């Protein structure tokens, strides 16, 4: 499931209206993924298989989307100094 959602989410930033373009927004979105660690822990301990599949799918979705957004926006902030 992770790989399927990761692949599909890499095409989402093609729509410019839903692409995150600010560095601050990208940093917040990336750091907020750390909240998935306790979610996975509690789901493994108390949840079911469906909840684990949902979390894994969400991890793949955010991973692909944020990878494309970061790799396309980061070079725009780079300034060559001579």
* pLDDT tens by residue, 14-73: 998 999 999 999 999 999 999 999 999 999 999 999 999 999 999 999 999 999 999 998
DSSP annotation of 11 reads T
Q: Write down the pLDDT at residue 39.
A: 97
In a domain, 69, yes or no: yes
CB within 8 A of 49, min separation 6: which ones? Answer: none
CB atoms near residue 51 (< 10 Å): 15
DSSP annotation of 15 reads S
SS3 assignment, position 53? helix
DSSP annotation of 82 reads -
In a domain, 59, yes or no: yes
Q: How confident is the model at residue 82 (pLDDT cuts 50, 70, 90)?
A: low
In a domain, 34, yes or no: yes
In a domain, 16, yes or no: no
pTM of the model as a whole? 0.85
CA distance 33 to 41: 14
Measured in residues, the chain has a length of 82
Tell me how many domains the chain contains.
1
Q: Write down the pLDDT at residue 68.
A: 95
Range of the domain at 47: 2-11+21-74
């Amino acid at each position: 499931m992770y790989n399927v959602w990761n692949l599909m989410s890499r095409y989402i930033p093609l729509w410019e209206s839903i692409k995150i373009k600010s560095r601050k927004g990208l940093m917040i979105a990336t750091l907020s993924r750390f909240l998935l660690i306790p979610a996975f822990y509690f789901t493994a301990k108390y949840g079911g298989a469906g909840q684990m599949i949902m979390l894994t799918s969400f991890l793949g979705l955010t991973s692909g989307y944020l990878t494309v957004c970061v790799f396309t926006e980061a070079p725009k902030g780079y300034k060559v100094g001579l």
